[in-house]
Amino acid sequence: MLLHRVACVIALTAGLVPAQTAPADQRAFAHDLLRELVEIDTSDSTGDITKAAEAMAARFSAAGFPDADVQVLVQAPRKGNLVVRIHGTGGCRPVLFNSHLDVVEAKREDWSVDPFQFTEKDGWWYGRGTTDDKDGDAALVADFIRLKQEGFQPKRDLILALTSDEESGDQYNGVDWLLKDHRDLIDAEYCINEDSGGGMLKNGKRQVYQVQAAEKTYLTFTLTTTNPGGHSSLPGKKNAIYELAEDLGRLHDYSFPIHLNQVTKAYLEGLSKIETGQTAADLRAVAGGSPSPDAVARVSSNAYFNAVIHTTCVPTMLSGGHAENALPQRAIATVNCRLVPGETEEYVQHTLQAVLADPGISVVALVHALPSPFSPVDSPVVKTIERVANEMWPGVPVMPVMETGATDGRAMRAAGIPTWGAEGVFEDPTDVRAHGRDERIRADAFYDHVEFVYRLIKALGDECSGH
């Protein structure tokens, strides 16, 4: 799920006036789809993603889609995926629209409402997945069916993929599996990912719409120090826990060099035009490539900006020792890194070894990096997204963004399918509840989302200009 939404608060640019939402019957249909999806538990431990895929397949069949164009593909028990196709008139490669069906765990005792019951209250809809990512699933299903009912004939095939296990890891990740075993079903010129992008609110007003064009690469190391140990009544200068603590202190004090790409440079330049004062000047300096050390320090003091301009590595787990009355023979830290596109696992590992400067420490990759290049920000696809966003929300600036977390877009890009995140929900970055307690979405924001996705699918289906 996208983390940039919780990143920063920038200047106001436009009031929250109603957008042109979908017709009433389409809104009701999309509402019912979201309700149905939320009330199907698709969490990893107790849920059934296949059940959700089959429920949406039934909706397509009822709407008159041929059986050959609606396929539920199951890679393991409870790990189903749905692929749907609207055939175009030919001449252009397909465009793929992707969203994931699975959700993170949710416990009833942690919520004020049942997370797997769709609860409507005070203009908000509560339930696990309402923003991550069953709102995207419902919007895509509703809009594909609407286009079918309207007799829309795109110039290219439109493919919908609702997939499994984006949240719970790579073992049964639906996008990875489809790319590996069923590439022909989802192969496309490019992909629009409904699990990223979208708008930010401040004080109830729309401030910026962001198109996700890149994301950082996930990489995890274990750092291990060892020692002969001994009796705790006879401590010496050598101690595995102390040694690891000193190594982690050196890591704490180190920052990877600034590394911008087309996406992050454009993002910082765009923010500098909205921000004011010192912040605007610092962002311009960093984007321009000649910032002062003070400017870098000020920008880096914001955790999100720091993640945008640097590769980051941070310890997330610690373990050590084997008995309370024995000197530790081993101490281990798990260090999670997020790599800027273009940096490699080998580079980061060598950098860590140089920074730690400890020949006695072992630095071993636990989870390897999957390279994922950025998608170009000057693409005709981005221009179309911007045009549709401007039609929906006049006066709201549109800019590219790099995801500091991870989505299924990483696998698409790694497989040679350029991917842009472009959902239609505006959220307040101070009240993002995805993965957390009482996840919710505003009813009006969801309806705007449905209409935005409809317009975007139609616009891209009518175009044949490449990416």
Strand order in the sheet with 217-226: 312-320, 330-339, 217-226, 361-367
Q: Print the domain residue range for 258.
A: 217-367
211 and 307 share a domain? no
pLDDT of amino acid 454? 98
pLDDT of amino acid 18? 56
The domain boundary residue, chosen from 367, 391, 408: 367
pLDDT of amino acid 17? 53
350 and 251 share a domain? yes
pLDDT of amino acid 19? 62
407 and 350 share a domain? no
Three-state secondary-structure class, residue 337: strand
322 and 332 share a domain? yes
Residue 260 maps to a domain: yes
The domain boundary residue, chosen from 307, 341, 367: 367
Give the H or E element holding residue 86: strand 80-86
268 and 150 share a domain? no
Three-state secondary-structure class, residue 137: helix
Number of folded domains that form the chain: 2
334 contacts 248 by C-beta, under 8 angstroms? no
pLDDT of amino acid 228? 93
Tokens 């539920």 locate to 72
Give the H or E element holding residue 71: strand 70-74
d(C-alpha 253, C-alpha 94), whole Å: 48
Q: Which of 218, 220, 275 is nearest to 409 (CA)?
A: 218
Rounded (5°) CA angle 29-152-397 = 75
- For residue 344 the two structure tokens come to 């490699």
pLDDT of amino acid 21? 67
336 and 433 share a domain? no
Tell me the sheet residues that pair with 212: 401, 421
d(C-alpha 307, C-alpha 89), whole Å: 44
Distance of CA 464 to the CA centre of its chain: 27
The domain boundary residue, chosen from 335, 351, 367: 367
Residue 363 maps to a domain: yes
Give the H or E element holding residue 297: helix 293-300
Residue 441 maps to a domain: yes
Residue 293 maps to a domain: yes
351 contacts 255 by C-beta, under 8 angstroms? no
d(C-alpha 381, C-alpha 378), whole Å: 8
Residue 238 maps to a domain: yes
Residue 231 maps to a domain: yes
d(C-alpha 373, C-alpha 213), whole Å: 9
211 and 224 share a domain? no
d(C-alpha 434, C-alpha 462), whole Å: 33
226 and 322 share a domain? yes
136 and 160 share a domain? yes
Q: What is the pTM of this model?
A: 0.90
Length of the chain: 467
pLDDT of amino acid 466? 66
Tell me the sheet residues that pair with 192: 97, 420
pLDDT of amino acid 355? 98
36 and 140 share a domain? yes
pLDDT of amino acid 370? 85
361 and 445 share a domain? no
Q: Which of 308, 416, 311, 304 is nearest to 369 (CA)?
A: 311
Residue 420 maps to a domain: yes
What CATH number is associated with residue 344?
3.30.70.360
Distances (CA, A) of 325 to 226, 230, 234, 239, 244: 17, 9, 10, 14, 19
Residue 467 maps to a domain: no
CB burial readout 358-385, b (16+ within 10 A) else e: beebebeeebebbebebbbbebebbebb
pLDDT of amino acid 364? 98
226 and 332 share a domain? yes
What CATH number is associated with residue 13?
3.40.630.10
What is the chain's pLDDT, residue by residue, as a tens digit (467 residues)?
Answer: 444 443 443 333 344 555 666 788 999 999 999 999 999 999 999 999 999 999 999 999 999 999 999 999 999 999 999 999 999 998 899 999 999 999 999 999 999 999 999 999 999 999 999 999 999 999 999 999 999 999 999 999 999 999 999 998 668 999 999 999 999 999 999 999 999 999 999 888 999 999 999 999 999 999 999 999 999 999 998 999 999 999 999 999 999 999 999 999 999 999 999 889 999 999 999 999 999 999 999 999 999 999 999 999 999 999 999 999 999 999 999 999 999 999 999 999 999 999 999 999 999 999 889 888 999 999 999 999 999 999 999 999 999 999 998 899 999 999 999 999 999 999 998 888 999 999 999 999 999 999 999 999 999 999 986 66
